[in-house]
Amino acid sequence: MSKASLNTVVISGSGLWTPEHIITNDELVASYNAWANAHNARHAAAIEAGEQEPKILSSVEFIEKASGIKQRYAYIKEGILDIDRMRPAIPERPDETLSDQAQMAIHAARQALDTAGRTAADIDAVIVSSAYTQRAYPAIAIEVQDTLGIDGFGFDMLVACSAATFALHRAYEMVAAGTARCVLTINPELTSPQVNYCDRDSHFIFGDVATATVVERADTCIAPHSYEILSTRAMTKFSSHVRSNFGYVSRANDVDPFGIDKLFNQNGRRVFKEVCPMAVQHMRDHVSHHGFSMSDIKRWWLHQANLSMNLLISGKLLGREATFDEAPIVLDRYANTASAGSLIAFHLYHQDLNRGDLGMICSFGAGYSIGSLVVRKR
Ligand code: CO8
pLDDT tens track for 122-168: 999 999 999 999 999 999 999 999 999 999 999 999 999 999 999 99
Amino acid at 282: H
Calculate how far, in angstroms, residue 268's C-alpha sits from the geometric centre of ligand 1: 5
What stretches in the chain show pLDDT beneath 70?
A: 1-4
**C-alpha closest to that of 142 among 104, 152, 163, 132:** 152
pLDDT at 4: 61
What residues have CB less than 8 Å from 37, skipping those under 6 apart? 57
What residues have CB less than 8 Å from 209, skipping those under 6 apart? 16, 17, 18, 19, 73, 189, 334, 337, 340, 344
| Beta strand segments in 5-95, E | 9-17, 21-24, 71-74
Secondary structure element (H or E) that encloses residue 364, with its range: strand 358-365
Nearest 10 degrees: Cα torsion 68, 240, 238, 375:
-20
| Beta strand segments in 100-239, E | 125-130, 153-158, 182-189, 209-217, 227-236
Distance between CA atoms of residues 361 and 359, nearest Å: 7
Residues classed as catalytic: 161
pLDDT at 5: 81
From 35, 266, 304, 339, the mutation candidate for ligand 1 (largest count of ligand atoms within 8 A of CB) is: 266
Using a 6 Å cutoff on CB, does residue 153 contact ligand 1?
A: no
Distance between CA atoms of residues 187 and 165, nearest Å: 10
Distance between CA atoms of residues 336 and 325, nearest Å: 20
Amino acid at 132: Y
DSSP annotation of 70 = -
Calculate how far, in angstroms, residue 175's C-alpha sits from the geometric centre of ligand 1: 39
Angle, alpha carbons 141-372-11 (nearest 5°): 60
Calculate how far, in angstroms, residue 250's C-alpha sits from the geometric centre of ligand 1: 27
Using a 6 Å cutoff on CB, does residue 239 contact ligand 1?
A: no
Distance between CA atoms of residues 270 and 274, nearest Å: 6
Using a 6 Å cutoff on CB, does residue 332 contact ligand 1?
A: no
pLDDT at 258: 87
Distance between CA atoms of residues 262 and 193, nearest Å: 11
For the stretch 113-150, what's the b/e string if a residue is b when 16 or more beta carbons lie within 10 angstroms of its beta carbon?
Answer: bebbbbebebbbbbbbbbbbbeeeeebbbbbbbeebeb
Query: Which whole-number Å values give the CA distances from 98 to 25, 101, 144, 155, 335, in the listed order?
Result: 31, 8, 9, 17, 26
Which residue CA neighbors atom 14 of ligand 1 most closely? Answer: 201
Using a 6 Å cutoff on CB, does residue 62 contact ligand 1?
A: yes
Distance between CA atoms of residues 326 and 357, nearest Å: 12
Q: What is the pTM of this model?
A: 0.96
Distance of CA 297 to the CA centre of its chain: 22
